[in-house]
Structure 1
């Protein structure tokens, strides 16, 4: 995990073989290695049918610095249970690319999981924007 030395709330995980954190940051950011983290999927942490599993989640906010595709892969059981009504996530094309994903991959994963995405383009040319994905009814 890398942390911006001027803003400890701005951090990102960089996996083996991926570009460095600074590869997608503006020149005002200075990242330093904070440490190593162990990552678990939501499906492993919240198995369906256990007391820890959520009932209905009205809104899930994801802020995973480009790892949206991997996060969605790690919650397929949760999403297929139709427990999450809506997902909002910040999208940054450079971060997605660093994490070996794309806008098409992210939108495709949301669609395949039963979500409709309104305004998937945000501000054209913007560094990042928020995407709202709403669970489609009748699927």
Structure 2
């Protein structure tokens, strides 16, 4: 089998027409998004092709002394953080643009910890109730 035919088979599902903006569309997009909270991300992506963003991130990672992660891994960091602070997994999935099934497949390893936390919270509430009942009974 030739290299060309192998490459065609491997990339058959991934091949699609490259999409890009002309200069007018580029300017129109940036002008219309100027006051959007993500404007800086859009403009950096367009002006630098994301190379400068990832290079800048590497510098900041070294400065902070944290483990190196990819730019995309910030998405996973966000999902993990939302779950850790008790945001409902369905809401977290929606914020990431994922279906609950997709989300569960990707992040289910984080959910057992949440189950333990849920049990701890339920137990704490039940203990508070029991203490109030005892106080009332003693009076």
Which protein has the bigger helix share?
Answer: 2
TM-score normalised by the chain length of structure 2: 0.25
TM-score normalised by the chain length of structure 1: 0.25
Q: Which has the higher contact order (CA 8 A, sep 6+)?
A: 1
